């Protein structure tokens, strides 16, 4: 059996009881180590808690060397550990598909992830639309495909969760071209960078998806003792000192429930200013008028 086991968000002890029981009986235990990180637990802490060796699985191993992970899983139990929940990244779905092709049974043991823990900021989960990812811009690569999804969410009044890029075990273009296995230091996108990049794309596209005064919520170190929230406008978040990773960001929808606002005010430096920004944003981003479809003509 291949077991895919969610680890939760922060501590080595956030694993579920059943997940821990499975880890202890598996022949090999892999830790997916590039889509996210456990903020309060190192590989060594996991090994001490599990009483087992943990094999780090980087991007190259998971995406190109899945056969190594799956080797013997038709006869022995193998664990694949994922920070957050098991299916937080499409890569893990690919691993399950590959296992099925080889006739290997799979089982998922779920856990908390940013997708549900984000409700801790006070926004209601069923008011969220499509989740988007924001990558680090480079001098010649500034992708804006996320913009369309935010715009779609905003048109129907829903919040947008923006997941911020992390770069772990990445190579520079020069080292890749020269075939040198030299990796860049890990990088984690900050709230400030995310807000600046979002506003840059609005300036480029000018489709009025959002403005510098659109209200947003900065989320830092979710699920850890150092968890913080900040409710402010995108412009204000450009100068926010978000601190240690990991971070994510929420762009508010134009339909914000009063209970959501009451909760968010606790995270405002300027409650009245944030309240004004919400009202102005609702006025700025009004849905297009409803146009009924043409009536069908019927003939005898």
Round to whole Å and give the CA distance between 125 and 215: 17
Q: What is the pLDDT of residue 167?
A: 85
C-beta separation of 271 from 265 below 8 A: yes
Residue set of the binding site for S-adenosyl-L-methionine: 9, 85, 88, 113-114, 164, 222, 247
Q: Is 265 helix (H, G, I), strand (E, B) or coil?
A: helix
- Which residue ranges form the domains of the chain, and what is each CATH number? 2-112 (3.40.1010.10), 115-283 (3.30.950.10)
Q: What is the mean pLDDT of residues 191-201?
A: 98
Q: Is the pLDDT of residue 180 over 70?
A: no
Q: Is the pLDDT of residue 140 over 70?
A: yes
Q: Kindly report the backbone phi and psi dihedral angles of residue 94, in degrees, each rounded to the nearest multiple of 5, phi listed first.
A: -60, -40
Q: For the chain, what percent of residues have pLDDT higher than 70?
A: 91
Q: Is the pLDDT of residue 63 over 60?
A: yes
Round to whole Å and give the CA distance between 15 and 109: 9
Q: Is 43 helix (H, G, I), strand (E, B) or coil?
A: helix
Residue 245, burial from CB neighbour count under 10 angstroms (0-12, 13-18, 19+) = middle
Residue 188, burial from CB neighbour count under 10 angstroms (0-12, 13-18, 19+) = middle
**pTM, to two decimals:** 0.89
Residue set of the binding site: 9, 85, 88, 113-114, 164, 222, 247
pLDDT tens figures, 64-99: 778 899 999 999 999 999 999 999 877 789 899 999
Q: What is the pLDDT of residue 171?
A: 58
């Amino acid at each position: 059996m291949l077991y895919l086991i969610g680890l939760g968000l922060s501590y080595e002890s956030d694993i579920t009881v059943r997940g821990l029981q499975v880890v202890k009986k598996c022949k090999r235990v892999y830790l997916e180590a590039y889509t996210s990180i456990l903020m309060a637990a190192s590989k060594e802490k996991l090994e001490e808690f599990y009483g087992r060796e943990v094999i780090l699985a980087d991007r190259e191993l998971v995406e190109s060397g899945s056969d190594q992970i799956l080797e013997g899983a038709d006869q022995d139990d193998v664990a694949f550990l994922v920070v957050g929940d098991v299916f937080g990244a499409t890569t893990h779905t690919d691993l399950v598909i590959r296992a099925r092709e080889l006739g290997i049974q799979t089982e998922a043991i779920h856990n908390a992830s940013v997708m549900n823990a984000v409700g801790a900021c006070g926004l209601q989960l069923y008011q969220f639309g499509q989740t988007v990812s924001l990558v680090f811009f480079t001098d010649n690569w500034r992708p804006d495909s996320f913009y369309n999804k935010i715009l779609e969410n905003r048109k129907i009044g829903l919040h947008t969760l923006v997941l911020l890029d992390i770069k772990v075990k990445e190579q520079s273009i020069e080292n890749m071209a020269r075939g040198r296995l030299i990796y860049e230091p890990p990088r984690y996108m900050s709230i400030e960078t995310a807000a600046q990049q979002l506003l840059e794309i609005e300036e480029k596209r000018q489709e009025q998806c959002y403005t510098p005064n659109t209200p947003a919520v900065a989320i830092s170190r979710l699920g850890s003792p150092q968890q913080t929230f900040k409710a402010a406008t995108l412009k204000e978040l450009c100068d926010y000192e978000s601190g240690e990773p990991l971070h994510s960001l929420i762009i508010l929808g134009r339909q914000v429930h009063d209970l959501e606002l009451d909760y968010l005010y606790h995270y405002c430096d300027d409650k009245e200013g944030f309240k004004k920004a919400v009202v102005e944003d609702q006025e700025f981003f009004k849905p297009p008028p409803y146009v009924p479809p043409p009536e069908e003509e019927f003939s005898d």
